[in-house]
A and B are shown apart, each in its own frame.
Chain A
Amino acid sequence: MKKKLSVNGVQHTVDVDPSTPLLWVLREQLALTGTKFGCGIAQCGACTVMIDGVPIRSCVLPLASLEGRQVMTIEGLAPSDEKLHPLQQAWIEHQVPQCGYCQSGQLMSAAALLARNPEPTDAEIDGAMQGNICRCGMYGRIRKAIKSAATSRIAQSELHTFDKTDEASDE
């Protein structure tokens, strides 16, 4: 069954069963492999994407529930090919990734946090990031990087979200 899907500001048409979780559509239909499969049951956060600005585990989100909603994946987080999102920049500066597998999910949860709360406290960061598990235990660096991005003027002014009016299409 053909379904329309807006990802990173681009309209796609995919032909899959409507019960297919978004993660499989992203990775196998749209070749957006930055979003990772971790546990498959919404327990680890590796597959986190933003739906209308809210962090959601894509491994349990059926495609059927996404009509008219805006999906943002890690591929859409940077404002351009030349410029990273302030969080991505802070991730590099603080050497957050070790194995790196959880990082796209971590970044999407962090981006959603800063979009709604530009200056989070340590407790607010901990609360928002609880659902993203890091096997390498980089939680201290994750918190530092979020604080760093939050306190920079860049982070204040360039938190990136998509507007429906900016949409392109792949058709």
Chain B
Amino acid sequence: MAKKNTNTLLILALIVGLAFHGSAIFFTLESTYDALIHLFFADHYASSWFDPWEYRWYTGFTVQSYPPLVHQLIGLLSYIGGLKFGMYTVALIAIVLFITGAYRFTLLMTGSRRIAGYGAVLAVFSSTFVETLHIFGQLPSISALSILLHSMTEIYLWIKTGKTRYFITSATMLAVTVTSHHVTPLFGMVFFIAPLMGMAVMDAAREKVESYKKLTFRVFWGTTLQHFWRIVKFGFTAIFLLVFCIFPYWYNSKRNPITQVAIPHGSRDNFLEITSSGLVFFIIPWGILLFILPYFFYRYFSKRYVFFGLSFALLTILGTGGTTPIPLMMLGEMAFNILTLDRFTLWATIMALPIFAEFAYRMVEGDLKVLIQKRFGAVYHRVLGGLIAGGMLFMVVFTMTLGYFRPSQPAKIKMLPIVNFLGADSHDSWRYLPLGFGDQMAWLSAQTRAMTVDGNYHSARRLPELTTRAIERIENSKFRGVEGIGSLQQFLTVPEKYNLKYIFSNDKFYDPILYYCGWQRLQQLENGIMVWEKLNVAPIPQIMPKQDVPTIMKVMWGIIPLTTVLLAIFVNIQMIWVRLLKSKKIPAHSFTKLELPYNKFPSRLLTFSHWWALLILICLGYGMYIFYVKNVTQLSPNNLVESYYDALDFKEFSRAHSYIDPDENIDIAQYMLEVSVTDGILSSYAKLDSLGIEIYDKTENSAKAKVATRWITPLENVFNNDHHELVKRNNKWYLKSSKVDNDIPPDQLFTANGTTYYNHGRRKITTQETYHEDVLKQPVLEILSAKLVKYKGQYSIVGELQNVDNTPADIVIKATLYNDKNKELANYNAKHQIKHKLMPKETTTFKINFEGIAWSSTKDTLPPTFNPDEFTPVSFEEQPTKFNLQSAGNVANTDLYKHVALQDLEYTEQGFNGVLFNSGVQEVTIPQLIISYYDVDGELLWVDHKFVTEGVRIQRKQFFNYKPLELDSLKIITSGLENCFVNGSPNKAIADKIFPNRILKHGRQQAYPFKGKGYEYLKFEINSYIGNPK
């Protein structure tokens, strides 16, 4: 045996790995999916090590729902240099552990230190590692896997030699693995340790006979029986460690089983259909390894590795997600929907590393090189080597920069202004909600004591509004379609349920729904985040519910993880010392004797591999061709329309302009002017959801397209049908431009006077409660009418309300339904069928729908597509017969724009055609019509609404169309004002005092006599959302 030199390749791998990954993490880790979540957990341990209850997310959850080691390490290190220091340090440790782990694993598998060196180098550049670290940020997973790799040598030696020393080392390492990540050892047992034991027994059997040929099943079986007790002993120890080390975790899983609806995950997709998932969860982790797959299978299905072969094949198949039905069949419905399948690919690629290293060795300096040079010549060998190395580097660079070119996160947000805001003026006495923060919300939470209803660890979700839907966060609800927006709307409509008062909006998309749910803009922070607040929300109570666990669990959780690390270091330090410094000559392990001579690379395998590589290349080429054809914008009419709408969707107007027929001579400035003047829900707050393009009458140089678009807006779906004419000039298709509104306002400059309001808040600066005389009186409201009605099987309360005070009022109105026995059945707040801000003496009609928690019975099939205005009526077990209305007014000083007039209204066969006119000085972004229906006596029957999709600009008109409803099936269940309250006082008392001589006929005098089905009068009210108030 050669003298044991320091393995230069390993040293090289460590240096390059630390330099490369170590510097790159500072640019990638914080924008990964998971890293900041771990940071938040770490912050929890840093501030309360032993108490597992964390109040800041989901109205409280337990951190015993995730193995703690990595979090605790970061938390511990944060005492030295802060949380981020801790995170980066742990990441650096993980990098070192991974490279050395790959080295030891390769050494164990191949028995060659040279090849192990190759393994270490390849591990540094493995695209799966790059992805897991730099895109997913799965620190616990990486740490656990690395330590598992380290422990494999020890486990092998225990099985093989039966020396207690190895038993102890393997057990301690396994314990560390368990406390860092629970899934890794759980599946690691099956996919790594079981085949490893098989291999150990196989090796022992091999030593009994002269060659692998003579190794029959009988020999193997005999050897297995010999080693049986070691296997059992280790097996039971492993299970014990898995249960004991994170016992509180299992205890918590039992107590709070995951009952929530599964969240769709890209790794379960069909990769051929959803190519982006295929890229992220298949192509990137496999990378260049895909080309060498035949070699892996060839090697892993040799006699020694056959158990690994089985495991490897299984992992490869499971990693394909929904592409083939096999994973679903193997895992079963339940496990398939809970597990993220990308981890199987991760393990498969890690398992492939030693064999890949072996391949590289044979390619660079072994028999493969000889064979290739012999068959194809030296140049070909070099070119091939260059291609493989180049391909690998390309994959690494590509993966690394994926987050740069296709950001998965919003731009980095400066948290300090938000943290300061929450800290000031007792703002943290209420819950807050970030919107559009991405995973950075965890970083915000880590920096403040304030609590949010949201959270970023979906397994710990507790609120029914969240667990019954497949959403991971409310924060990014727009990406979760109907369920997301539905959840968000529930929080926005009934915020007092969770003491939610502040919303930090980093995404303009949500602004309209915030406004229409009755929220108001408070201020824009210096980092550009808009703060929205809701009035009339009580602060969080001093005493909050908490799910306590026995002290022993807290102690176990706080002590065991770090103890396992200390034990592992203590037990292994001597060996590490010896191994690193070569201070003592240690006998070579038995597996090094099994190093193969590598003198004859099978020629047929080489041929097959070439064909395989060709096949892969053809597939890739075809994929890229499809990608090209689909994405070359002006190649076909279809592409053109798609690109044009894509450009409009992303507001890339100069790109959109480039698709307009150049012969029309519309210059870019003119085009921009025409496009950008239209404001409204479609042009400012919509996301194109689906695009149905129908090309017809296509000739050589012309075509027509009917484009059915569906836009997601925060308020509702908008369907549009557009017609376009397309022409082909110089082999490129172009779009003919459509007409614009030529309306010009009469005045260049005009004046407007109005009353504006300002509320000081606290006039006297104090850290105490606000002074009595600085508390404004709540404006007095009067409920003019209220009815419980049933329409289309759904109960609603409709009514009318007036601000009878002399100050503008913000209105919150809550209705509760009761049955005959006065049992409460449901309660809900008025959402958007009300004007939330009223001027003195202004009236509003309102409607309260009783929304249940959507899909609360998980049996209901989830709708496959987005529908923000989807509504789940609450299901009543009993008949509601009575209701109670609680309204509250608070002085409002914003969003009081009332200058949109109804300028024309005409009933035609298509419904009402109307014209809105904006006579004031603010541009109305989204006008909302609230339409109320009255019977012959002027009694309110029903309230409907319509959002006009385009805005009303100053001194300009906007057309709308509204189809009136048919109300003949509407049933009034009860009507009356007995149980109506305003600011806690009975409505009647207020009416008698403030409006003793109310002129009741005014209501009817202002309504439009229009005989429709089931009603006699109609009234249109306008509620205007202003996107950019001046």
A, B bound: no
